[in-house]
Structure 1
Amino acid sequence: MRKITIVVLILAIAACKPAPKKAEAESETVENTEVEAPKYPEALGKVIEKHGGMDAWKQQRTMTYSLPKPNFIEVHTIDLYSRKDRIDTEIFSMGFDGEQAWLLDTDKKYTGNAGFYHNLIFYFYAMPFVLADGGIIYSDTEDLEFEGKNYPGIEISYESGVGASSKDQYFIHYDPETYQMAWLGYTVTYRSGEVSDNVKWIRYNDWTSVNGLILPNSISWYKYEGRELLEPANTLTFESASLSNEAKEDGFYQKPEGAEFVEIKKN
């Protein structure tokens, strides 16, 4: 009888004990299902959403477009995950293999700076999505006025060591009614290594849909006096734009035979 009583007491105590492991597991499950909040401002989120959304952007792997020049056509190809890139023309090629930039220019026809240029146009073309990259610092900036309309904006700067020119600044301005991107201001510090207060301005008002993402069909640099925008100076047109969720074959972005590595200066 005494043994029965002890067994009953043990069972009763066990039944009354909490189940911490189960509670902890449930807590972990709840924590794991929490969605990480975007690290960019709400206004920029609305601009990105207007252009197709970050989820749709992240589904894409390879971007290509052509850039007509007076004597040749540049075909730009970019891996959107690794940011490896390649530019091909009938005269020369250049690219970035993930660590180093390279230039294939057998006839010595290229007169620019391949270490600076290989991905320059991509950042202008892939607006506003590239402004959600890591290592970015966001700040408020004053509205930009053009033809009697005010365009709110966001200032973008970079943490030290991010990109080839972490001292560069960007200013994205958008339509306050539609949240579509309208202007991009930027400074260039690549060659000098010094912070610049000379802001150049590009107008974004010609868009096209590529796989559901709204990307520029053309962009126009404007003449300016400080923040006063004058008239167009020159226009860059993009052709044959495409997006794919598949990566290029192994070795596509690697330095080809006969090419040379070129310096990428870090500011």
Structure 2
Amino acid sequence: MKKIVVLIAIVLVSVACKKEVKKEITKKEEVAALKYPKVLEVVLEKHGGIEQWKKMKTLSFTLKNEEHTTDLHSRKIVVNSPEYSLGFDGREVWLQQQDSTAFKRDPKFYYNLYFYFYAMPFVLADDGIIYSETEPLTFEGISYPGVKISYKANVGTSPDDNYFIFYHPETKQMAWLGYTVTFFSKEPTDAYKIIRYNDWENVNGLLLPKTITWYAKNEKGQPTEPTKGPIKFAMPLLSEASLADSFYEKPKQ
């Protein structure tokens, strides 16, 4: 009798394990169905994997005297500093400041600017993206292969923007980001800026940048030297918990 009970238990465990394996395979198939280019899949995996990224709900970091917090699923954002606050509540971009001259940028351009730079390469796997080939980038004798990222019409506030991600040929880590800015002109452009990503840290299982550095380019579009010192990100946090919607709303005066 005991043998029969044990046998039944083994069968039940076996069936449960098969179901778990099937669930895991289904998950991987779902991720594969997103149709990222194979090279981008490799880069994303090197940085912790898109599955781990999709588990996260809240991202925050400090930049100079600003604290940036983002809901990764709704893309609501708050940027807090001693002099001003701005953000996106899911409907509109808002700004609140003690002095009308405290914030000198366009809030609609700035509120998610550094979120995109910081959340690389994972934001390059968003919906509405078109992937294509691009020429490699060369720096100090190393040729970095790349992928061009463009957007479908009416995706985001600047659908004519283009991004170019370049990765190290051996480590497969992201190494450079090229990007165009069309927010102000509303016209497509071939002129692009370039940022070096070569300083990473592990944040809850994902490799995110610790610093980024803008570089000048030569006449062939290849990076030459830094245009300024590195931008430093501090106090990073990635959490599977969400903050209340009210956190992202404009504070009442």
Which TM bucket (shorter chain)?
0.7 to 0.9
1:115 and 2:108 are equivalent in the alignment: yes
SS of 2:246's equivalent in the other structure is coil
String of CA shifts for 1:147-188, please: whole Å, max 9, x gaps.
111000000000011011000000000011111000000000
1:217 aligned to which of 196, 204, 210: 210
1:186 aligned to which of 179, 182, 188: 179
Identify the residue that residue 248 of structure 1 maps to in structure 2: 243
1:139 and 2:132 are equivalent in the alignment: yes
Q: Which runs of 5+ in 1 are unaligned?
A: 1-28, 259-267
Give the TM-score taking structure 1 as reference length: 0.81
Amino acid at match of 2:129: I
Structure 1 stretches of 4+ with a deviation exceeding 6 A read none
Amino acid at match of 1:153: G
Measured in 2, the distance between the counterparts of 1:191 and 1:75 equals: 25
1:83 and 2:71 are equivalent in the alignment: no
1:52 and 2:48 are equivalent in the alignment: yes
Matches within 5 A, 1:9-88: 35-36=29-30, 37-68=33-64, 73-88=65-80
SS of 2:116's equivalent in the other structure is helix
Q: What is the CA distance between 1:62 and its match in structure 2?
A: 0.5
Measured in 2, the distance between the counterparts of 1:174 and 1:250 equals: 36
Measured in 1, the distance between the counterparts of 2:96 and 2:35 equals: 39
1:195 and 2:182 are equivalent in the alignment: no
Amino acid at match of 1:172: I
Measured in 1, the distance between the counterparts of 2:55 and 2:242 equals: 11
Amino acid at match of 2:83: I
Measured in 1, the distance between the counterparts of 2:216 and 2:209 equals: 20
Q: What is the CA distance between 1:257 and its match in structure 2?
A: 1.5
String of CA shifts for 1:224-251, please: whole Å, max 9, x gaps.
1241211111221000001111011230
1:157 and 2:150 are equivalent in the alignment: yes
Identity of aligned residues (%): 52
Amino acid at match of 1:62: T
Identify the residue that residue 10 of structure 1 maps to in structure 2: none
Identify the residue that residue 92 of structure 1 maps to in structure 2: 84
Instruction: Indicate the structure (1 or 2) with the bigger Cα radius of gyration.
Output: 1
1:232 aligned to which of 226, 246, 252: 226
String of CA shifts for 1:115-145, please: whole Å, max 9, x gaps.
1100010000000000000000000001101
Measured in 1, the distance between the counterparts of 2:61 and 2:195 equals: 19
Give the TM-score taking structure 2 as reference length: 0.86
String of CA shifts for 1:96-124, please: whole Å, max 9, x gaps.
00110000013111111111100010000
Amino acid at match of 2:105: G
Higher helix share: 2
Measured in 1, the distance between the counterparts of 2:120 and 2:173 equals: 11
Measured in 2, the distance between the counterparts of 1:144 and 1:231 equals: 14
Amino acid at match of 2:84: F
Matches within 5 A, 1:164-175: 164-175=157-168
Measured in 2, the distance between the counterparts of 1:168 and 1:250 equals: 29
Identify the residue that residue 6 of structure 2 maps to in structure 1: none
SS of 1:150's equivalent in the other structure is strand
